[in-house]
């Protein structure tokens, strides 16, 4: 993830939680999982296919799933682990809100972690601090989460507090006013940070007419008008098991966890929520929109549609995106020193996107080089050796990001919610190693086109023909 995405706190790729959760080892939007398998997977990469399949089967066997009154529960057991991570995920994300109440889910979850009926603010902070337990929340375009990170020693007591946060948040006027003001201030200065503002501009272009246009963080205006009563009603609406998914990772016994979950959440109403398919994004032509801003450099980002986690194309697209990222960095920064941090990226959303990013005084030359590298992927087959090298690099980075229980819980949740089921997360290695040079060329041609660019900077320095001249 590059600097502008860290500033924005975005995903989807993620991959909820590449933000509060990463800093406190909590479950989040960008949760990634399966670090138990990292060493075995690294060893298995160049082994016969049956060895890879045995690694996949072993990882799948660690996961138990069961139902509690309509609430699906996934438990991944890590024997000997001294920590436990849990996340109660809420389906829907941006589809749950509209232009009038944008930000309500994010605010509701944030306030819920402040105090509950049985654990007022001071008592909750005292107990959590004593145990080293952290309870947090996060949201992305596709789902939200209330998350728990604690030690195995203090799991039982931490679970009691966590359950109260889920079921009985206090929503006091004081708590709502405090968190609300914090959220409004954060949203109000979005235009002060060029990277954050660039993302806002990009969303307006890429997500026009799409559910993702309803930003889950909301706006200063929508968040400021929300009341404690609004949050309480919204909480009641969401707390039905058909909307929820519970994921837990740690050294826990499945039978004991089922008893615990039943006692905590077994009386929640089932409801009748049905997830609706998110429309896939499709751009019919390239475009560029320039927002004037006096800056020492131009900030540029362009998005193209990309395959979702459920698409067979996602595996080749991951490798193609990694190849493009490395080539862009080589051409733009290393060879020509046009930009400090040029990037090509692939996010992880139900309606997915990939793209290009650069900050440069000479944005035209930088984008010309980036588009040239896309053209090279589309017209010149890569070697099998290049693919193997990218897979090795990708997996190293991928597994380094999956070393915590929280990361593993997030990976399971992400695939269960938007990736066609949690089992697809453990099939990842087998599918990735099957990608061919022809697959790379095919997905580059299919997706890396009709790029929607936004620019924050000097309009006089932008040659729109350079940005839109790519054949679509």
The CATH number of the domain where 104 resides is what? 3.30.830.10
Give domain status of residue 422, yes or no.
Answer: yes
**Three-state DSSP string of 394-423:** HHHHHHHCCCCHHHHHHHHHHHHHHCCCCH
338 lies in the same domain as 260: no
Contact 25, 404 (CB under 8 A): yes
124 lies in the same domain as 255: yes
Per-residue pLDDT of the chain (472 residues), as tens digits, is: 343 433 333 333 333 333 333 333 333 333 333 334 333 334 444 444 555 566 667 778 899 999 999 999 999 999 999 999 999 999 999 999 999 999 999 999 999 999 999 999 999 999 999 999 999 999 999 999 999 999 999 999 999 999 999 999 999 999 999 999 999 999 998 899 999 999 999 999 999 999 999 999 999 999 999 999 999 999 999 999 999 999 999 999 999 999 999 999 999 999 999 988 999 999 999 999 999 999 999 999 999 999 999 999 999 999 999 999 999 999 999 999 999 999 999 999 999 999 999 999 999 999 999 999 999 999 999 999 999 998 888 778 877 878 899 999 999 999 999 999 999 988 887 889 899 999 999 999 999 999 999 999 999 999 999 999 754 3
Distance CA 268, CA 283 (A): 42
Contact 264, 246 (CB under 8 A): no
Give domain status of residue 162, yes or no.
Answer: yes
Distance CA 299, CA 12 (A): 21
Give domain status of residue 271, yes or no.
Answer: no
299 lies in the same domain as 243: no
308 lies in the same domain as 257: no
Distance CA 21, CA 299 (A): 28
Give domain status of residue 152, yes or no.
Answer: yes
For 186-227, the DSSP string reads: HHHTGGGSHHHHHHHHHHHHHTTTSGGGS-TT--HHHHHT--
261 lies in the same domain as 307: no
Q: How many CA atoms are closer than 13 Å to the CA of 181, on its beta-carbon side? A: 5
Q: How far is CA 108 from CA 112, 144, 169, 228, 360, in A?
A: 6, 11, 9, 9, 39
298 lies in the same domain as 259: no
248 lies in the same domain as 375: no
Counting the structural domains of the chain, the total is: 2
231 lies in the same domain as 304: no
Contacts of 84 (CB under 8 A, 6+ apart): 148, 149, 150, 151, 152, 155, 158, 248, 249, 250, 251, 252, 405
23 lies in the same domain as 75: yes
Give domain status of residue 32, yes or no.
Answer: yes
Contact 323, 444 (CB under 8 A): no
- Look up the pTM and report it: 0.87
Give domain status of residue 194, yes or no.
Answer: yes
Give domain status of residue 282, yes or no.
Answer: no
Distance CA 454, CA 285 (A): 14
243 lies in the same domain as 366: no
Give domain status of residue 270, yes or no.
Answer: no
Within 10 A of 151 (CB to CB), how many other CB atoms are there? Answer: 15
223 lies in the same domain as 295: no
Distance CA 203, CA 263 (A): 42
Domain assignment of residue 322, given as a range: 287-468
327 lies in the same domain as 224: no
């Amino acid at each position: 993830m590059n600097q502008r995405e860290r500033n924005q706190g975005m995903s989807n790729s993620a991959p909820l939680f590449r933000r509060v959760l990463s800093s406190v080892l909590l479950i989040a939007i960008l949760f990634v999982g399966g670090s138990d398998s990292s060493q075995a997977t690294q060893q298995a990469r160049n082994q016969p296919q049956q060895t890879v399949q045995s690694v996949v089967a072993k990882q799948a066997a660690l996961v138990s799933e069961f139902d509690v009154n309509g609430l699906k529960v996934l438990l991944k057991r890590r024997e000997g682990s001294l920590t436990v991570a849990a996340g109660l995920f809420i389906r829907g994300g941006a589809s749950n809100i509209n232009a009038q109440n944008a930000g309500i889910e994010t605010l509701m979850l944030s306030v819920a972690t402040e105090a509950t009926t049985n654990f007022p603010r001071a008592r909750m902070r005292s107990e959590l601090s004593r145990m080293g337990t952290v309870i947090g929340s996060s949201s992305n375009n596709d789902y939200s989460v209330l998350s728990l990170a604690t030690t195995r020693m203090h799991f039982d007591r931490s679970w009691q507090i966590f359950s109260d946060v889920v079921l009985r948040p206090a929503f006091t006027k004081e708590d709502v006013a405090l968190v609300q003001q914090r959220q409004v201030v954060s949203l109000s200065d979005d235009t002060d940070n060029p990277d954050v503002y660039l993302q806002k501009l990009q969303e307006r272009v890429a997500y026009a007419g799409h559910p993702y246009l309803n930003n889950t963080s909301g706006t200063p205006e929508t968040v400021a008008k929300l009341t404690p009563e609004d949050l309480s009603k919204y909480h009641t609406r969401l707390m039905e098991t058909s909307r929820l998914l519970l994921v837990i990772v740690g050294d826990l016994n499945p039978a004991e966890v089922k008893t615990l979950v039943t006692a905590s959440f077994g009386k929640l109403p089932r409801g009748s929520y049905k997830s609706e398919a998110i429309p896939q994004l499709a751009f019919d032509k390239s475009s560029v929109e320039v927002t004037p801003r006096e800056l020492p450099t131009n900030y540029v980002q362009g998005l193209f549609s990309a395959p979702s986690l459920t698409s067979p194309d996602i595996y080749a697209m991951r490798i193609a995106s990694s190849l493009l990222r490395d080539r862009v960095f080589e051409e733009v920064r290393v060879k020509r020193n046009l930009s400090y941090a040029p990037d090509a990226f692939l996010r992880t959303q139900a309606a997915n996107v990939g793209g290009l990013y650069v900050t440069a005084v000479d944005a035209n030359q930088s984008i010309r080089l980036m588009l040239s590298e896309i053209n090279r992927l589309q017209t010149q087959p890569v070697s099998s050796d290049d693919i193997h090298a990218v897979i090795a690099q990708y997996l190293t980075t991928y597994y380094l990001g999956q070393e915590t229980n929280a990361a593993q819980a997030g990976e399971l949740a992400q695939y269960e919610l938007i990736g066609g089921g949690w089992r697809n997360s453990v099939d990842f290695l087998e599918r990735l190693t099957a990608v061919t040079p022809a697959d790379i060329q095919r997905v580059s041609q299919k997706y890396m086109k009709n790029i929607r660019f936004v620019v924050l900077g000097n309009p006089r320095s932008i040659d729109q023909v350079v940005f839109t001249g790519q054949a679509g």
